Structure 1
Amino acid sequence: MKIKKLIERLIIFFVGAPLVLASIYFLPHYNFLVYHIELFIAALIANYEIYNILSQRSPAYPKKILACFGTILVLSSYLIGLHAVPFQYIFIVFGCVTVGMMFMEVIFSFSGNFTNSIARLTTGVFMLIYPWGLTVFLSAIASLPNAGALIIMFFLMTFGCDSFAWLFGMLLGKNNRGFIKASPKKSIVGFIGGFIGSITAAVASFYFFNKQFNGKLRELIIIALFTALFAIIGDIIESILKRSADVKDSGKVILGRGGILDSIDSLLIAAPVFYALCMFLLGGF
């Protein structure tokens, strides 16, 4: 079973990941349209997966309605970047979408049953943020200077963190596991490996995109450290949600990984941090 899972992970690493990165590098046209289509598809599948997880413990609005609200967010983010509108406008869109979702509770209240109102509202707003709202930050990276290099670097950092954490944990982490109750197989050595993987990706990006990142190696390493930290947190958060719902995987879409959410959980939580650090540390580079 372990050999089979290893082979499946290697297929994703050597085939799936390069295809995504190639689409970003070779198809940057129209504000990275292909990349945004990939984001939308991933977020849409993740929307159904998180619904299936949360609905085990809490009532929720219909998943198609949640998907419609989320689509508005991602589409607005793409159009804002396409037309070079300041990114702050997405918060106006988010506010309007949130109000629209709250209006859904008014419709539900016509039944006269208010028992699940708080739970529905809370779950609905959470699902609007996770995955849709966080996907907006994956989109926002495309509006930064040298966006192609930044997007690729971000994916390399998170993939590097995840892959090195898994490899180090598998090889060296057997005696230091169990301190994360939500994910007992995670180890201290695995976390260290995750940071090493993210830093390795930062150094590789520095040399591969030398013209774009000239003289910014220290800043890239700082970004890599925080990206790895929040990528790990993202993985743990999803583990907590799955344990709460008594679910092993979010889905069965990806070989050796489970669902889409199992693969993008780190990306979702790390994206806002990566975007903010790029703004502060690399702004104007």
Structure 2
Amino acid sequence: MLKYRLISAFILIPAVIAALFWLPPGGFAITTIIVCMLAAWEWGQLSGFSSRNQRVWLAVLCGLLLATMLMVLPEYHHNIHTPLIAGSLWASLIWWCVALLLVFFYPASAALWRNSRILRLVFGFFTIIPFFWGMVVLRSWHYESNHYAGAIWLLYVMFLVWGADSGAYMFGKMFGKHKLAPKVSPGKTWQGFFGGLATSAVISWLFGAWANLDVAASILLVCSLTAALASVLGDLTESMFKREAGIKDSGHLIPGHGGILDRIDSLTAAVPVFVCLLILVFGAI
């Protein structure tokens, strides 16, 4: 299993970085749509759709919806304040606040959505759609003046999430004693949680010092720590849905890593939350 994880990582990481820096906004948007379609395919299983045909249609409908949203918004990447885009990002903040309550009160909270496919699909909608817009908007930010500005910001968020996850793992292994959410994900501890936040804070400081940004260090730190918190919540939320569905992995598309959702669950929360705070709330970039 470790061998497959390492091989997959060596392939995926360069591929992700290449897509960030080499694809133009249109190509990146199409690539993100494909990722979202695969995520929707897997979310179908979390929603209770065991039929392959039903999940295929769910993925197709997701792709058509995202493509339609792109086509009806000419020059979409120049204006994050377009109601459709801004509304999606604000909706993400609301959804992850709701998800926090669902995770906190689990398993009692599951009584509200366990038997409703529609409600679980709605949860998937509020997870995947804002993630798509967060990715596309941040990658395209100021593209006309600097083709790589948005790519660097997006790569930063990814490093932030990966760093928080790695820090949580290491601190949890060394010092973990008190469970963070034992009914949702027994392996996570409070010590790992705070270790991950500390790692994110260090990454934020290093990025601010290295990149010579026009963003105040305090604002970047607040946005980064909030995104790191959201990344943990994204992971816990998917774990909660998988537990209810009785599955270990969301899929088997990535050898040794499970499914697409297993790899992007943290990013589905961190990216839109970070973009919403940094641009819409603070207007920092």
AA aligned opposite 2:28: Y
Aligned residue for 1:22, secondary structure, equals helix
Change in CA separation of 1:178 and 1:154 when aligned onto 2, cut-off 3 Å: closer
Aligned partner of 2:84 in structure 1 is 90
Bigger drift between 267-276 and 75-84 goes to 75-84
Q: Which residue of 1 aligns with 2:175?
A: 172
User: Is residue 147 from structure 1 mapped to residue 150 from structure 2 by the alignment?
Assistant: yes
Contact 2:46/2:241 (CA < 8 Å) preserved in 1?
yes
Give the 3-state SS of the residue equivalent to 2:185 in structure 1.
coil
Match of 1:27 in 2: 22
CA deviations over 1:186-209 (Å, ceiling 9, x no partner):
111211222123223323332442
1:244 Cα offset (Å)? 0.7
Please say which structure displays the higher CA radius of gyration. 1
| 3-state secondary structure, aligned to 1:248 | coil
Residues 1:280 and 1:240: Cα distance change in structure 2 (over 3 Å): same
Q: Which residue of the other structure, out of 41, 47, 53, is the alignment partner of 1:54? A: 47
Q: 1:202 to 1:72 in 2, by over 3 A?
A: farther
Cα distance in 1 between the residues matched to 2:52 and 2:123: 10
Q: Which residue of 2 aligns with 1:135?
A: 132
* Cα separation, partners in 2 of 1:191 and 1:122, compared to 1, 3 Å: same
Give the structure 1 partner of residue 271 of structure 2: 271
Q: Which amino acid aligns with 1:152?
A: L
Separation of aligned partners in 2, 1:77 and 1:204: 36
- More displaced, 9-18 or 125-134? 9-18
> SS at the partner of 1:127?
helix
In 2, Cα distance between the equivalents of 1:122 and 1:60?
A: 20
Aligned residues: 251
Relative contact order (alpha carbons < 8 A, sep ≥ 6): 1 or 2 greater?
2
Q: How far 1:56 sits from its partner (Å)? A: 6.0
Q: For structure 1, which runs of at least 5 residues remain unmatched after alignment? A: 95-117
String of CA shifts for 1:179-234, please: whole Å, max 9, x gaps.
43110011112112221232233233324422xx1453222211111011010000
Q: Which residue in the other structure is 1:181 paired with?
A: 183
Please, which moves more after superposition, 130-139 or 81-90?
81-90
How far apart, CA to CA, are the structure 2 residues paired with 1:148 and 1:10? Answer: 25
> Are the counterparts in 2 of residues 61 and 124 from structure 1 also a CA contact under 8 Å?
no
Q: Can you give the 5+ residue segments of structure 2 that lack an aligned partner in the other structure? A: 89-114, 143-148
Measured after TM superposition, the shift of residue 237 of structure 1 is: 0.4
Q: Decide whether the 8 Å contact of 1:231 with 1:269 is kept in 2.
A: yes
Structure 1 range deviating more: 60-69 or 234-243: 60-69
How does the TM-score come out when normalised to structure 1?
A: 0.74
Quote the Cα distance in structure 1 between the aligned partners of 2:86 and 2:163.
34
In structure 2, do the counterparts of structure 1 residues 19 and 38 end up closer, same or farther at CA, with 3 Å as the change threshold?
same
Find the counterpart in structure 2 of residue 239 from structure 1: 239
Structure 2: how far apart are the matches of 1:216 and 1:11? 39
